[in-house]
Amino acid sequence: MQPPFLQKLVDALVHERVRFVVIGGVALNLQGHARTTEDFDVCYARDRENLENLAAALAPLHPRLRGAPPELPFVVDARTLKSGLNFTLTTDAGAIDLLGEVTGLGGYAEADAVADEFELFGHKLLVLSLDGLERTKKAAGRPKDLVDLGSIAELKKRRG
């Protein structure tokens, strides 16, 4: 089961033709691991056109920097996205993490190269493969990642 906020975020990104790969907890769910997640993690392409599309997708959702004081000014536009790399945002639809680079994997091209295609909410999405997820989880090494590695190994064993 996907978090209720997810469809609005997916619809917004797809509508604006953003090139991205689903990573993190949602990717694990789509790959067959039942795990709760409270945000939507994506690795996004960093070319100018995609940054403009990403900014257009997020603008109507009023993105804010997660954990930052509410009065801190933040404008999501192509220039801001180009100046940063990874962003943790809260939006009217829910939390989204934008990763220009993924630990243990690299950028969008590397994520795309190890992605599978899944359908979600009527959209075909690129989703990080079990091998890709395994690489990122090993590199991150947080306690929850170590738990996920056991589930990934079990999923890989079942798939043969």
pLDDT grade for 5, boundaries at 50, 70 and 90: confident
Domain assignment present for residue 1? The answer is no
Print the domain residue range for 58: 6-153
Tell me how many domains the chain contains. 1
Stretch 110-122: mean pLDDT: 96
As separate numbers, helices (DSSP H) first and strands (DSSP E) second, the chain gives: 7, 7
Q: Output the pTM of the full model.
A: 0.94
Stretch 5-29: mean pLDDT: 96
Tokens of 81: 């996205």
Q: What does the pLDDT read at residue 1?
A: 57
Q: Which residues pair with 112 in a beta bridge?
A: none
Residue 56 clears pLDDT 70, i.e. is over it = yes
pLDDT grade for 4, boundaries at 50, 70 and 90: confident
CA distance 87 to 99: 7
Q: What is the CATH number of the domain that holds 130?
A: 3.30.460.40
